[in-house]
């Protein structure tokens, strides 16, 4: 191939892509061949797409962005099949690099086969057959209300609704509205810490918003000495006002803006800036299994692929690259999971372990029931695990958060023993996560406890040099607690979540989250200020708009403080002391501080949550209450509806004699009486039994297989707690 032909080939490629790379078969074969030939001279194919991309960027090959992406993709094409490639390009770092150069990669969706598939895809694609992209990873977030950017397009909301004034600094609002003034926030004696942990675990199943990065995917430094020099397209730093009381004068919190989304056709939108959700929106255990096939490969046990990978017996999550967290003790490892935030706090890591343990337990049960094919075993266990996560979310967590009455009124209740199929699937519902929901649901930050603790059995005593209780700021991004007490920390943290009480759902955040978030080398963040700041840079309209435009309230005069009918007088006085107008109040602060009389949360949060959780059920073709092929038979559905978080805990971390509330979220409630684990209704998989059916390979009745039958008996005994330790 001559140099001229090569140059020609590159220019064809470059012209063809215009900053957008579609990796379908539309590329002319001769162009591909030319590129590949050229590349064999410069690099051996590597399996790491990020490395590959960086190799091209080393300086020698000075093509424009689109050509670089094209070359990377072509090399990858020589290594991976089209469907594997689908997942690889959605590698977060690679995506960030592409994004930062204004180059977008479009998935070539083909739903053939998925219409009849029993199992959902990993990236959420083809769930909706008319709109295969709805709810999938790396989609633009949708909005419940139109955005309210300062310039109508992209700049964060900074101006007050009245006059020429500006909105209060997010840190100032945090100090006035969300400080616990150094006194630990009161605990809600009626709920366990599972509310906190489930809340975050669920968040990490449905939304993850990537932030802008530098050109090579590296973190940005957003704090300029002169604020006027801040790159406002990529950065939204928080300059802490002087005399803060905690942060030193001149402190600036380094906050990159969320990465802008490109539109569905991969173009920079002409309209307002939108944000990305890099995980699937569906409640589909993506935090356990990942949001792409490429992620899942790293999470499955490579030797027995029906199982998820675990370490230390069944007690720790799989290891990750050690740059994913901060390690302080040699021999410990960062954790890996379906969601990259697994290392944020150790109790979250322990929940990830719990649902990996549950997957592996289900695999063992299915094996005892005659399931043999590793892929089928894996997929069925995944389907059952996801069904349990959906069931626990609606039947327990939302039943508490929104109340059963509200769920009933809104037709969102999971019917109990009177098991029938859910018939409300509606393919016209877009399940993409709502940007506004992503801000409002941060209400869970009020549940963050001041400390993390390992459960100890009497008469164990704590190690004075390495105590079982640690301040939360000492546990961020550090999995050490999982490794403590002979690497039994994961189960002990889960047990502590059952014993501990959750901080009240109020406006106050613990200092460990509000002053010392991610404390490292003396630098820390304020989570309340981040939430407010994030809402503004996402163009989230002010609180009052949600009351009127989304939730249908009529306010005679939204600019009058007398319109604040959902807040108590003390809160209104505090709001008045910081905001110029009620029309300025940020969504997160305004909604979180609504008065709570009988309900846990106020009407505006209820209305936002209902909108999102209705979509996540009604728009999910694989919702667990639907009939086969996407859902289950009635017998199987009945079995799933028996389960609970308590059942999952009893099956994986507790002995049969441990006494637990029927709802692990609500300890000791009259409706949720305490029972020993042996009496907690458990996941009964007998409806999955393949015994009695003809084995198509041998033609024999499988029940004749005495050995397997014996195994089943042993497993049943183990399940009932007789053999269980």
Which residue's Cβ lies closest to ligand HEM?
A: 444
Pick the stretch among 149-157, 193-201, 294-302, 550-558 that binds ligand HEM (CB under 6 A). Answer: 193-201
DSSP 352-381: HHHHHHHHHHHHHHHHHTT---HHHHHHHH
Question: Min. distance of Cβ 2 from ligand HEM in angstroms?
Answer: 50
- 3-class SS of residue 524: strand
Q: Per-residue x/- mask for ligand HEM, residues 209 to 228, rule CB under 6 A?
A: x-------------------
Backbone angles phi, psi at 620, to 5 degrees: -105, 105
**C-alpha distances in Å from residue 663, one per residue of 354, 403, 610, 659, 673:** 17, 14, 22, 12, 8
**9 near ligand HEM, rule: CB under 6 A:** no
Question: Min. distance of Cβ 601 from ligand HEM in angstroms?
Answer: 11
Which of 300/445 has CB closer to ligand HEM? 445
Question: Min. distance of Cβ 198 from ligand HEM in angstroms?
Answer: 8
DSSP 668-719: T-TTS-EEEGGGS----GGGG--TTSBPTTT-SBGGG-HHHHHHHHHHHHHH
Burial of 59 (0-12, 13-18, 19+ CB in 10 A): exposed
Which of 275/581 has CB closer to ligand HEM? 275
Pick the stretch among 39-47, 195-203, 461-469, 620-628 that binds ligand HEM (CB under 6 A). Answer: 195-203
Start-to-end CA span in the chain (Å): 69
User: In the range 516-555, which residues lie near ligand HEM by CB under 6 A?
Assistant: 527, 530, 534
Size of residue set near ligand HEM by CB under 6 A = 19
Residue of 124, 725, 128 whose CA lies nearest to 426: 128
Question: Min. distance of Cβ 624 from ligand HEM in angstroms?
Answer: 22
Considering only 95, 196, 546, 665, the residue that binds ligand HEM (CB under 6 A) is 196
- 3-class SS of residue 227: helix
User: In the range 335-354, which residues lie near ligand HEM by CB under 6 A?
Assistant: 344-345
What is the phi-psi region of residue 273: left when phi exceeds 0, alpha when psi lies from -120 to 50, beta otherwise? beta
Q: Which residues on neighbouring strands pair with residue 239, listed in sequence order?
A: 252
The distance from CA 42 to its chain's CA centroid, rounded to whole angstroms, is: 39
352 is in an annotated binding site: no
Q: Per-residue x/- mask for ligand HEM, residues 102 to 121, rule CB under 6 A?
A: --------------------
* Rounded-to-integer distance, Cα 604 and Cα 596, Å: 11
- 3-class SS of residue 124: coil
* Rounded-to-integer distance, Cα 33 and Cα 9, Å: 9
Pick the stretch among 143-151, 159-167, 440-448, 565-573 that binds ligand HEM (CB under 6 A). Answer: 440-448
Pick the stretch among 109-117, 196-204, 298-306, 350-358 that binds ligand HEM (CB under 6 A). Answer: 196-204
For residue 263 the two structure tokens come to 């539109």
**199 near ligand HEM, rule: CB under 6 A:** yes
**619 near ligand HEM, rule: CB under 6 A:** no
**145 near ligand HEM, rule: CB under 6 A:** no
Residue of 346, 343, 348 whose CA lies nearest to 469: 346
For residue 301 the two structure tokens come to 């046990």
- 3-class SS of residue 346: helix
Question: Min. distance of Cβ 197 from ligand HEM in angstroms?
Answer: 7
User: In the range 442-481, which residues lie near ligand HEM by CB under 6 A?
Assistant: 442, 444-445, 447-448
Q: Per-residue x/- mask for ligand HEM, residues 644 to 683, rule CB under 6 A?
A: ----------------------------------------
Q: Which residues, 6 or more positions from 222, have their beta carbon under 8 angstroms from its beta carbon? A: 230, 231, 234, 235, 236, 237, 252, 254, 255, 256
Which of 200/491 has CB closer to ligand HEM? 200
CB 316 within 8 A of CB 490: yes
**131 near ligand HEM, rule: CB under 6 A:** no
Which of 318/444 has CB closer to ligand HEM? 444
- 3-class SS of residue 189: strand
**200 near ligand HEM, rule: CB under 6 A:** yes
* Rounded-to-integer distance, Cα 301 and Cα 362, Å: 15
**C-alpha distances in Å from residue 14, one per residue of 24, 94, 230, 322:** 16, 19, 32, 38
**398 near ligand HEM, rule: CB under 6 A:** no
**276 near ligand HEM, rule: CB under 6 A:** no
Which of 608/651 has CB closer to ligand HEM? 608
Question: Min. distance of Cβ 174 from ligand HEM in angstroms?
Answer: 13
- 3-class SS of residue 659: strand
Question: Min. distance of Cβ 534 from ligand HEM in angstroms?
Answer: 4
Question: Min. distance of Cβ 92 from ligand HEM in angstroms?
Answer: 12
Which of 344/564 has CB closer to ligand HEM? 344
**235 near ligand HEM, rule: CB under 6 A:** no
Question: Min. distance of Cβ 208 from ligand HEM in angstroms?
Answer: 5
Burial of 185 (0-12, 13-18, 19+ CB in 10 A): buried
Sign of CA dihedral 133, 87, 39, 57: positive
Which of 9/342 has CB closer to ligand HEM? 342
Question: Min. distance of Cβ 377 from ligand HEM in angstroms?
Answer: 32
Question: Min. distance of Cβ 264 from ligand HEM in angstroms?
Answer: 20
Three state DSSP letters for 438-452: HHHHHHHHHHCCCEE
* Rounded-to-integer distance, Cα 208 and Cα 439, Å: 11
Residue 21 parent element (H or E): strand 20-22
Which of 53/525 has CB closer to ligand HEM? 525
Question: Min. distance of Cβ 638 from ligand HEM in angstroms?
Answer: 30
**66 near ligand HEM, rule: CB under 6 A:** no
Which of 206/369 has CB closer to ligand HEM? 206
Pick the stretch among 205-213, 424-432, 554-562, 617-625 that binds ligand HEM (CB under 6 A). Answer: 205-213
Question: Min. distance of Cβ 91 from ligand HEM in angstroms?
Answer: 18
**279 near ligand HEM, rule: CB under 6 A:** no
Residue numbers of the site for ligand HEM (CB under 6 A)?
Answer: 196, 199-200, 203, 207-209, 344-345, 438, 441-442, 444-445, 447-448, 527, 530, 534
Binding residues: 445
Binding residues for heme b: 445
């Amino acid at each position: 191939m001559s140099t001229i032909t090569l140059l020609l080939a590159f220019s064809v490629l470059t012209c063809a892509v215009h900053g957008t790379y579609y990796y379908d078969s539309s590329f002319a074969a001769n162009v591909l061949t030319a590129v590949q030939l050229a590349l064999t001279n410069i690099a051996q194919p590597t399996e790491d797409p990020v490395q590959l991309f960086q190799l091209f960027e080393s300086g020698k090959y000075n093509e424009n962005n689109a050509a670089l992406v094209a070359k990377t993709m072509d090399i990858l094409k020589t290594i991976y099949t089209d469907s594997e490639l689908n997942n690889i390009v959605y590698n977060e770092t690679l995506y960030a690099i592409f994004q930062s150069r204004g180059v977008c990669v479009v998935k070539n969706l083909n739903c053939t086969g998925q219409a009849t598939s029993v199992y959902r895809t990993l990236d959420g694609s083809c769930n909706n057959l008319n709109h295969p992209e709805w709810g999938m990873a790396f989609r633009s977030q949708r909005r419940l209300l139109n955005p309210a950017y300062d310039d109508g397009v992209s700049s964060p909301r900074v101006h007050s609704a009245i006059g020429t004034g500006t909105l209060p600094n997010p840190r100032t609002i945090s100090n006035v509205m969300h400080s616990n003034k150094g006194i630990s926030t009161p605990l809600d004696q009626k709920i366990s810490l599972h509310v906190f942990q489930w809340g975050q675990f669920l968040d990490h199943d449905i939304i993850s918003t990537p932030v802008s990065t530098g050109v090579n995917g590296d973190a940005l430094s957003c704090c300029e000495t002169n604020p006027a020099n801040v790159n406002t397209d990529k950065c939204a730093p928080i300059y802490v006002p002087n005399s803060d009381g905690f942060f030193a004068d001149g402190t600036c919190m380094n906050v990159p803006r969320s990465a802008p989304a490109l539109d569905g056709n991969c173009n920079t939108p002409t309209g307002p800036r939108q944000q990305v959700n890099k995980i699937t929106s569906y409640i589909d255990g993506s935090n356990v299994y990942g949001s792409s096939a490429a992620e899942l490969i790293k999470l499955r046990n490579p030797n027995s692929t029906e199982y998820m990978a675990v370490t230390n017996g069944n007690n720790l999550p799989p290891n990750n690259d050690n740059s994913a967290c901060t390690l302080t003790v040699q021999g410990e490892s960062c954790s890996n999971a379906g969601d990259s935030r697994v290392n944020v706090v150790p109790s979250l890591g322990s929940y990830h372990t719990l649902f990996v343990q549950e997957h592996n337990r289900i695999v063992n049960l299915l094996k005892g029931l005659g399931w043999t094919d590793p892929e089928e075993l894996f997929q069925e266990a995944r389907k059952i695990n996801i069904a349990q996560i959906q069931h626990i979310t609606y039947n327990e967590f939302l039943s508490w958060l929104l109340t059963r009455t509200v769920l009933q009124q809104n037709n969102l209740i999971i019917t109990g023993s009177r098991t029938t199929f859910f018939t409300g699937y509606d393919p016209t519902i877009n399940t993409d996560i709502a940007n506004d929901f992503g801000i409002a649901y941060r209400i869970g930050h009020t549940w963050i406890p001041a400390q993390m603790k390992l459960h100890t059995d009497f008469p164990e005593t704590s190690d004075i040099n390495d105590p079982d209780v640690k301040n939360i700021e000492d546990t961020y991004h550090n999995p050490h607690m999982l490794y403590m007490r002979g690497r039994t920390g994961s189960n002990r943290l889960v047990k502590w979540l059952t014993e501990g009480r959750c901080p009240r759902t109020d406006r106050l955040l613990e200092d460990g989250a509000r002053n010392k978030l991610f404390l490292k080398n003396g630098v820390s963040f304020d989570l309340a200020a981040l939430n407010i700041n994030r809402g503004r840079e996402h163009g989230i309209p002010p609180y009052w708009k949600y009351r009127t435009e989304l939730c249908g309230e009529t306010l005679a005069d939204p600019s009058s403080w007398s319109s604040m009918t959902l807040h108590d007088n003390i809160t209104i006085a505090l709001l008045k002391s910081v905001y110029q107008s009620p029309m300025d109040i940020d969504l997160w602060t305004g909604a979180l501080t609504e008065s709570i009389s009988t309900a846990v949360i106020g009407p505006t949060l209820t209305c936002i949550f209902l909108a999102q959780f209705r979509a996540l059920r009604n728009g999910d073709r694989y919702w667990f209450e639907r009939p086969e092929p996407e859902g289950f038979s009635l017998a199987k559905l009945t079995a799933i509806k028996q389960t609970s978080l308590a059942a999952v805990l009893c099956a994986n971390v507790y002995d049969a004699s441990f006494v637990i509330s029927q709802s692990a979220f609500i300890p000791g409630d009259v409706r949720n009486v305490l029972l020993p684990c042996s009496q907690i209704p458990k996941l009964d998989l007998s409806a999955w039994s393949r015994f009695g059916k003809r084995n198509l390979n041998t033609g024999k009745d499988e029940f004749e297989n005495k050995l397997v039958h014996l195994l089943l008996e042993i497993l049943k005994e183990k399940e009932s707690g007789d053999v269980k330790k």
